[in-house]
Structure 1
Amino acid sequence: MMLLWRRSLAARFLMLVLLALALSQAITFLISWDERGQALHAAAKGEFVSRTSSLALLLDTTPPSLRPDILNVSGTAYTRFWTSDDGPSNPLAWQQEAFTQLAKPLPGIAGKYAAYMNGQASSAVDAADPSVPPRMLDLSGNGRPFSRPAKFLYMDAAPNGMGLSVRLNDSTWLNAAYAKAMPNAFWTTQSAISLALTALILSAIAIFGAQAIARPLRRLANAAELFGRGEAVPRLPESGPDDIRQTAEAFNRMQERLQRFVEDRTRMLAAISHDLRTPLTSLRLRAEFVQDHELQEKMLKTIEEIQTMTEAALAFAREDAAVEATRTVDLSALVGSLCDDLAELGQNVTVSDGPKVLYRCRPDSLRRAIRNLVENAVRYGEQAKVSLVSSADSLDIVVEDAGPGIPQGDMEQVFAPFFRLEQSRNRETGGVGLGLSIARAIARHHGGDIVLENRNEGLRALIRLPLIDMAKQLAPASMPETKPPTGLRSRNRPAIGTPALPRHN
């Protein structure tokens, strides 16, 4: 339940609606329950007084010999009638007599109905406390229900107990006792069905409303995830309530502004590249006329270094633009073919075979990032061991070498453009210092990052890529595939896959 509350907006909205329903039902019950009890008691009292008054009129007009039969047939499951010579002068004694009468079974009734009729009043008497005296009220006089002497008694000792004594024309008293346990259970079958139907209807409405809210949010989250991974995202539909529509409009505006910013920067850098070629060509031509060969060689090397750094900087900026289309590839095959290419060039590269892994990426860019890490490992660590490791939420491309590692204080600095641990500025020993910068830019465009870790002997570099759904990334088990022997092996077979890309280190 708590997991649904944390992870599902629809479940949270539904739980809140059901909680509101339960609270409203409880408040309604607390407000109306006392009024209901009072209304039932008033109705029972009115019926009891009316029935006793009618019976008194009947007894006044019938011979005394018929009174016992009339009293017997007038009794109900929770009412008894009898006559006495005196009225209720002693209320406690009268109440005791009333309990005795209520406990007597009704005559002339047999079968299941008799058990029901005879058990109603007696069950109320069993729950009574005889020591509690009744409260007596005079009902005779002007403006009162009876013109003859009449006494009404509230028998608080029994559930909803009440009594009435009315003097007849022959000076005897008609006594009536009533005791009925009112149903006070709130959770009845009818109330359960009513609450269940109400909850079902409200749940359907809540689910519909929550889905209407959650669907645009999921669409926005998916679009933001794809956009963060550098993919082309179509405009979100700008429809629905104001809040949702304004959120979609804001996302679309943000996407357009970022794309426009990248395009403007790319155009600016392309213009700079075009403008720089002319003066560099002019300098190279002028250097050809220099008579001093040593000076001429130094000038040409400087011009070449400037041109190389300019092209590397432009390549780094173009990588930020991320114009390559995203598609699903076999990442194991991509890594393996890259290692084949480098092994054919004579580099000490080994790769650990693994299962086929499908991943949605920009393969040329990712291949470039992996190549930069592998070539750095070979240059500074003499060898590169490459493997593909998957976890619950990420897919790691691991490159390990046997070099001296990187000082802990420079772990972040090495990603800065043009930063080199090797200070000679010799391209043969250290490149121009953009390899890790480009690799990290590519990894981050895929929603991941690059992590560097020093080992006991060498450095471990990981391209950590996010896995949104592992089930969508792994190849189906039914797809035929040929697995090579497990373990490390040198890549000496013919190269497959995309051609090798220029390297920037």
Structure 2
Amino acid sequence: MTRLWTRSLAAQIVALMLLALAVSQGIAVLIFWDERGQALWKAAKSEFLSRTASLAEVIEASPAALRQDMIDASATSYTRFWVSPAEPLDGAAWQREAVAQIARPLPTLTRKPRRPEAELAEPARTTGAMAAAADTRLAWTPLPAWAWPLSRPAKFLRLDGPDGMGLAVRLDSGDWLNAAFVKKMSDSPWTSKSMVSLAVTAAILSLIAVFVAGRIARPMRRLAKAAEALGRGESVAPLPESGPDDIRHTAEAFNRMQERLQRFVEDRTRMLAAIGHDLRTPLTSLRLRAEFVADAEAQEKMLATIEEMRTMTEAALAFAREEAAAEDTRTVDLPALVGSLCDDLAELGHDVTFLEGTTVKYRCRPDALRRAVRNLVENAVRYGERARVRLARTGESIDVVVEDDGPGIPGEAIEQVFAPFFRIETSRNRETGGVGLGLSIARTIARHHGGDVRLANATRGLQATISLPLVA
């Protein structure tokens, strides 16, 4: 679940929208339910007062012998009426009487009567403070003329329980008609209908959230894929500059960045090619002048130096030409590419061994990668007598490992050897060769693929590794 939350934008949006829905619905239900409860209470109170007033008028207009029958006939499962000779004053005592009245079964009921004790909690008072608070809470309130339809006095009592109320009306005879009402009018707001409505709303919001997240994540995934390809040196088509402002501005910024990077690389490559080309003229002039030097030993040294400079210049020009050439990226069989290179070098008489492994399909620029591997293998053969090449797959990369049996490289020079034209003359064998661009070119190519080249001294010889990232 945590992995889904951290990796999925859709999951985060859905979760946040559902949370907002739950909070808003909860608040709305509480507000609605409170208003509904108040409306039900007012309606029940109005009906209770009207019914009690009608019963009082009927009792006064009927013979005394029929009074009890009319009172019994007016009773319901949640309403009881009785007559007391004296005015009720103690609210707590009156509530106890009301509980007893409602507990008494109706004459017409054949089923087991409902026990109102579960709804009207008998006040349990153990201290004077609680008793005083209960007496205050259960105090009688005279009904004003505008709230009571009869001219005779009446008083109202809010019972200590759920949706309970009491009423006492003075009759013309001096007796008091008592009425008690106990009915729970508000159940849980989370009914089956409300839960179904909430589930349907949540499902609709989830679909909308998934759609919105897809519209946001799709251009972001496209941008991430383009950035990864650009970092690997591939030619990336400009991203479509459409959609909302934020996404459009991001695409525009990426396209501008890609254009600037390409222009920078092209300018640098052209400058390097121009410098290498322009050096040819003075080198040719120096060589011609060296031919007229009388001292044979000095002439030989001068020509050797000029030849070394010419070799370096040609290498720089070759490197610039390859940089300027835009090779297409395609998927190749990496073991076949490396194996064919090793076979070619072995046919030329080099001691090169390729340890075959499983097939690995890899998207790269084959000619450039082949040159990087060739530089490492040729270095291994030149300085370490032989080369053993193999592929190793890790969790995040595919490695091309080249091992030799040479003396290795001093630890302080492991990074220096990647500098252009840098050579270690005394730490290798006597065949130095090269101009010092091989490792530099190999690392440049590897980094253009998003990887790198690492060197490490092994127990015997040097281990050079081209590490290439695995791309989904």
Aligned with 1:124 (options 103, 119, 129)? 119
The alignment partner of 1:386 has SS state of: strand
The answer to which of 281-290 and 259-268 deviates more is 281-290
| Amino acid in the other structure paired with 2:445 | I
- Asked which structure has the greater RCO (Cα within 8 Å, sep 6+), the reply is 1
Distance 1:223 1:141 in 2: 82
User: Does the aligned pair in 1 maintain the 2:409–2:427 contact within 8 Å?
Assistant: no
Q: Which residue of 2 is the match for residue 400 of structure 1?
A: 403
Offset at residue 189 of structure 1 (A): 2.3
* Aligned CA distance change for structure 1 residues 10 and 140 (closer, same or farther; 3 Å): closer
Q: Which residue of 2 is the match for residue 72 of structure 1?
A: 72
The answer to which of 91-100 and 315-324 deviates more is 315-324
Offset at residue 390 of structure 1 (A): 0.9
Taking the TM superposition and a 5 Å limit, the aligned residue runs for 1:405-444 are 405-422=408-425, 428-444=431-447
User: Does the aligned pair in 1 maintain the 2:230–2:236 contact within 8 Å?
Assistant: yes
The alignment partner of 2:114 has SS state of: helix
Residue 117 of structure 2 is aligned to residue 106 of structure 1: no
Distance 1:137 1:424 in 2: 109
* Aligned CA distance change for structure 1 residues 318 and 445 (closer, same or farther; 3 Å): farther
| Amino acid in the other structure paired with 2:443 | R
The alignment partner of 1:82 has SS state of: strand
- Root-mean-square deviation (Å): 2.7
Aligned with 2:143 (options 139, 142, 150)? 139
Distance 1:162 1:123 in 2: 16
Distance 1:458 1:269 in 2: 35
User: Does the aligned pair in 1 maintain the 2:37–2:186 contact within 8 Å?
Assistant: no
Distance 2:268 2:445 in 1: 17
Offset at residue 16 of structure 1 (A): 1.9
| Amino acid in the other structure paired with 2:7 | R
**Identity between Structure 1 and Structure 2 (%):** 65
| Amino acid in the other structure paired with 2:274 | A
Residue 340 of structure 2 is aligned to residue 337 of structure 1: yes
The answer to which of 414-423 and 247-256 deviates more is 414-423
The answer to which of 270-279 and 77-86 deviates more is 270-279
Count of residue pairs brought into register by the alignment: 462
Offset at residue 365 of structure 1 (A): 0.6
Aligned with 2:270 (options 256, 267, 271)? 267
The answer to which of 329-338 and 92-101 deviates more is 92-101
Offset at residue 197 of structure 1 (A): 2.3
Q: Which residue of 2 is the match for residue 484 of structure 1?
A: none
Aligned with 2:209 (options 206, 209, 214)? 206
Q: Which residue of 2 is the match for residue 232 of structure 1?
A: 235
The answer to which of 337-346 and 30-39 deviates more is 30-39
* Aligned CA distance change for structure 1 residues 396 and 140 (closer, same or farther; 3 Å): closer
Unaligned runs of at least 5 residues, structure 1: 470-505
Q: Which residue of 1 is the match for residue 312 of structure 2?
A: 309
Taking the TM superposition and a 5 Å limit, the aligned residue runs for 1:144-159 are 144-156=148-160, 158-159=161-162
Offset at residue 380 of structure 1 (A): 2.1
The answer to which of 265-274 and 307-316 deviates more is 265-274
Residue 37 of structure 2 is aligned to residue 43 of structure 1: no
* Aligned CA distance change for structure 1 residues 397 and 135 (closer, same or farther; 3 Å): same
The alignment partner of 2:457 has SS state of: strand
Residue 168 of structure 2 is aligned to residue 165 of structure 1: yes
Listed one character per residue, the Cα deviations across residues 295-327 of structure 1 (whole Å, up to 9, x for unaligned) are 444343323211210122233344544611111
TM-score, structure 1 as length reference: 0.84
Distance 2:144 2:282 in 1: 125
Offset at residue 120 of structure 1 (A): 6.5
Q: Which residue of 2 is the match for residue 20 of structure 1?
A: 20
Offset at residue 176 of structure 1 (A): 0.9
Taking the TM superposition and a 5 Å limit, the aligned residue runs for 1:182-221 are 182-221=185-224
Residue 93 of structure 2 is aligned to residue 93 of structure 1: yes
Distance 2:46 2:322 in 1: 92
Q: Which residue of 2 is the match for residue 58 of structure 1?
A: 58
* Aligned CA distance change for structure 1 residues 74 and 407 (closer, same or farther; 3 Å): farther
Offset at residue 421 of structure 1 (A): 1.9
The alignment partner of 2:392 has SS state of: strand
Distance 2:124 2:189 in 1: 28
Listed one character per residue, the Cα deviations across residues 40-91 of structure 1 (whole Å, up to 9, x for unaligned) are 3333222221221122222233333333333233222311122233331443
| Amino acid in the other structure paired with 1:179 | V
TM-score, structure 2 as length reference: 0.89
Q: Which residue of 2 is the match for residue 476 of structure 1?
A: none
